[in-house]
Amino acid sequence: MKPTYRRLVLSPEVRQAFFDRKGVVALESTVITHGLPFPDNLEIALALEEVVRENGAIPATIAVIDGLIHVGLDRTKLEQLATDKAAKKLSRRDLPLALSLRQTGGTTVAATMLIAEQAGIRVFATGGIGGVHRGAETSFDISADLEELGRSNVCVVSAGAKAVLDLPKTLEVLETKGVPVIGYQCDEFPAFYYRDSGLVNMARLDDVVDIANLLIHKWNLTRWPDSMRLEGGVLIANPIAKADEWARDEVEACITQALSEMTLSGKDVTPYLLKRLGELSNGQSRKSNMALIRQNAVLGAQIAQALAGRV
Ligand code: PSU
Ligand code: MN
């Protein structure tokens, strides 16, 4: 008897895209459940899907709904997720429990990466990855996103890492884990809300064809004899557009204040900081956040298409 394949529920659109060998772009959902407030979260979730389609690829928003892992969400499910105040934040460690208790939740970058890999999706667009938190030398707070980048074979497009983090330490860990950090048309590692962190990327690539080529040389996608056949992700750092930047001085002032007021720890840190920055900046952080995710979805679609033409 053939086993019933139920662990991943593919949307009809994503299933069709696999048949048609179209580029597919995974999208995360913690940004929907914990990153942005309603209705911004629903607006951006729908806009990202549209932007991916406009750029020739198919979007696959990944989330857990009533204990099932969905790869590709229809509008009804996106609305359910965007308005569910009880939705969990689900990282790698949380998935088995969420499935066993039939929970609903948004998947973090780490969880989305590992599910994307299981589904055979190679490209994933997000706002910003988690990383090493400021003060990690005492708190030990290092996002599981970095661990996952060292392990899952997925290309993650991100506006660098959130400015609330310790960016030099984040880059060090990525280096340790063997993750290529590639600036797309930029030399400096972007700091999410602003373009230039003062830190340099491992390398710069200006064309999505070159990015596809890198992926083919890292993973064994095409039985290409020159492929290194390495495990782990690739981080594409795509800086926010100049017009959408939030000025560095203001960002840093707000972060300092938000951090000094912070009393919680663990998985609540990132959602708290994003919410507090929204309040302290009168919505500027949300505006920048929404703009940069959209740009990342565009680039993700272009990379997915470039890769689909090769494999
Ligand atoms: N960046 C954002 N908004 C978010 C996140 C990142 O602009 O909501 C989420 C991502 O899902 C990321 C998670 O994976 O925060 C990282 O959480 P932590 O630092 O607890 O690992
Ligand atoms: Mn953490």
Give residue 182's pLDDT: 98
The model carries a pTM of 0.97
Question: Which of 3.40.1790.10, 1.10.150.530, 2.60.40.10, 3.30.1280.10 is the CATH number of 8-308?
Answer: 3.40.1790.10
Domain residues of the chain, as ranges? 8-308
Can 287 be counted among the known catalytic residues?
Answer: no
For the question of residue 218 being annotated catalytic, the response is no
Query: Which atom from ligand 1 is nearest to the alpha carbon of 269?
Result: 20
**In this predicted model, what pLDDT tens digit does every residue of 101-110 receive, in sequence order?**
999 999 999 9
Q: Is 160 in the pocket of ligand 1 (CB under 6 A)?
A: no
* Helices marked H in the chain: 12-19, 30, 40-54, 75-83, 95-100, 109-119, 136-139, 144-149, 167-176, 208-218, 248-261, 269-280, 284-308
Q: The tokens 């890999």 sit on which residue?
A: 117
The pLDDT of residue 5: 54
Residue of 139, 145, 289 best suited for mutating to test ligand 1, as the one with most atoms within 8 Å of CB: 145
Question: Closest ligand 1 atom, CA of 130?
Answer: 16
pLDDT tier at 163, thresholds 50, 70, 90? confident
Q: Which one is catalytic: 28, 117, 148, 245?
A: 28
Is any atom of ligand 1 closer than 6 Å to the C-beta of 273?
Answer: no
Q: For ligand 1, say whether the CB of 146 is within 6 Å of any of its atoms.
A: no
Catalytic, out of 162, 218, 245, 267: 162
pLDDT at 309: 85
